[in-house]
Amino acid sequence: MIAGTTDRTRVQPCSVCGVEMEHCENFGLRDDLPTWWSPERHKAPCGAPCMGGGVRPLRAEERPPGVSGIAHSHRATACGAPGCGGGRGGR
């Protein structure tokens, strides 16, 4: 669980889509947990919102019945953009 973010940032590839972008440093509730880096919200190369930066799930009234609320996003194993299979560098 994220307790907060530090004021430190760095540019590195997104672990989901591979886009070079700014990441912020996060820290947990316990002092013995290491810090970690999270990308800001962004779009993958295919144009779909990237799960790596967080995606707002679509509400039930915004999607067809039986379709996941994150089906429109770019993920490590799949993507909602036509012709994109997901993963790093997906197009």
pTM score above 0.85: no
Domain ranges, ordered by start, for the chain: 2-62
Q: How far is 16 from 7, CA to CA, in rounded Å?
A: 23
Q: pLDDT, tens digit, for every residue of 44-79?
A: 999 999 999 888 899 999 988 888 999 999 998 899
Judged against a pLDDT cut of 70, whether residue 81 lies above it is answered with yes
Confidence band for 11, pLDDT divided at 50, 70 and 90: very high
Phi, psi of 23 (to 5 degrees): -120, 150
Q: 32: Cβ–Cβ under 8 A, 6 or more apart, which residues? A: none
Q: pLDDT, tens digit, for every residue of 29-47?
A: 887 888 899 999 999 999 9
